[in-house]
Amino acid sequence: MDEHKVVYEAILAAQQQGEPAALATVINVAGSVPRHTGSKMLVRADGSIVGTVGGGALEQLVIKEALAALSDGQTRAPSFRLNDLKDGDPGICGGSVQVFIEPLQVPATLLVIGGGHVGRALVELGKWLGYRVLLSDDRPEFCNAQYAPGLDGYIICVPAEITQRVPIHARTYVAAVTRGMPLDMNLIPALLTTDAPYIGLIGSRRRWALTAKALKAEKGLTDAQLARVRAPIGLELQAETPKEIAISIMAEITMLRRGGDGQPMKWMGEVQEAQGEPQR
C-alpha cells in the first residue's frame, strides 16, 4: 500500500476516534538525506507513529517536537543538520532536513451518558449540529445503532467506567442525562478528573443539591471542583419535551464553546446601537 495512503488512513482513523495526533511532513531538504520532500509521519499522543521521516535519532527528535506541538497546539518547522554526530546532529548523511509539524485538532465531541428519551433526542441534535457524537448507557437496548442510528460510537458500560473507555479531552462536551443520584455519585468524580470543558448533569435543583452534598461528604469533593458541573443542565427555556430539553442543553454547550453569554440578541442589539456599533 502507498505509504502516504497509510498515513492518511491513520489521520482519518484518529479523527473518527477523537484521538489527538500530529502530522510531520518533510518540507525542505539539502544534500544527502534519508527521506525526500513530502515524506510524512503521523505521531500519536502516546508517541507511536505511522509512516517515517527518516528513522533513527532524527525521527526521535521529530517525535519529541510533535508531542510538544500536541501539548501547546502550535505548529512548528524545526530544521536538523545531518553532518556530525559529535556535534549533536541526529545523523551523518551530510545534508539537512526541515520538517513542518502540524497538531491535528481533535473533532468537537458530544458524549451523552444515558440513552433515555432526552439522551436519544440529544444525540440526534448533536449529530445534526456537526459534532462527533458518542452515546453511552449500561443498558444495551438503549445504546445501539438501531435505537439511535448514525452515531460515531456506542459504549455499553456503567457510567462510572466511561472515562476508562473513552478519551475525554478538552474538546469533549459531556452531557450526563442519567437515571438518578446513585449513578451520579460515582460518575461525577470520574468526570472531574478529565479535561472536559463542559460537564452537564440533568435533574432538578433539589437533586443536584442533594447530590453535591453527598459528593462532598462521601467523596471529599470541594465546592471548587463541583463548580465545574453545570446542574441543572441546559439554559432556562422552560423546556418540557425531550427535544426541547435537548435544545436547551445544546444551546448551553454552544454558548460556552463560542464564548457567548446567553443574553437575548435584541438586548445585544440595543447595546451595540448605544455604542455606535453596527448590528449583525
pLDDT at residue number 80: 85
pLDDT of residue 96 exceeding 90: no
Tell me the whole-structure pTM to 2 decimals: 0.78
Give the whole-angstrom CA distance, residue 129 versus residue 124. 9
Confidence at residue 206, expressed as pLDDT on a 0 to 100 scale: 93
For residues 255 and 196, what is the distance between their CA atoms, to the nearest angstrom? 15
What distance in Å separates the CA atoms of residue 234 and residue 65, rounded to the nearest whole number?
40
The SS3 call for residue 77 is coil
Residue 10 has pLDDT above 60, yes or no: yes
pLDDT for residue 111 = 98
The predicted model gives 155-178 an average pLDDT of 95
Any idea which of 104-108, 156-160, 189-193, 205-209 has the lowest mean pLDDT? 104-108
pLDDT for residue 88: 45
Q: Is the pLDDT of residue 276 over 70?
A: no
The pLDDT value recorded for residue 249 is: 97
What percent of the chain has pLDDT above 70?
90
pLDDT above 60: residue 1 = no
3-state secondary structure of 197: coil
pLDDT score of 136 more than 90? yes
Mean pLDDT across the chain: 89
What domains are there in the chain, each with its CATH number? 3-104 (no CATH), 109-258 (3.40.50.720)
Q: What are phi and psi of 146, to 5 degrees?
A: -80, -40
Q: Are 69 and 76 in contact (CB under 8 A)?
A: yes
User: Regarding predicted confidence, which is higher, 94 or 79?
Assistant: 79
- pLDDT-based confidence at residue 56 (cuts at 50, 70, 90): confident
Q: Is the pLDDT of residue 87 over 80?
A: no
DSSP 172: E
CA gap 261, 127 in Å, rounded: 24
Residue 88 grid cell: 549533536
Predicted local confidence at residue 89, as pLDDT: 42
| C-alpha cell at position 39 | 515524506
Residue 279, pLDDT > 60, answer no
Are 95 and 34 in contact, with CB atoms under 8 Å apart? no
Residue 240: phi, psi to the nearest 5? -125, -50
Neighbours of 209 (CB within 10 A): 12
pLDDT value, residue 272: 61
Res 273: pLDDT:
64
pLDDT score of 12: 93
Is a pLDDT exceeding 50 seen at residue 189? yes
| pLDDT tens digits along 172-184 | 999 999 998 889 9
In whole angstroms, what is the distance from residue 176 CA to residue 112 CA? 6
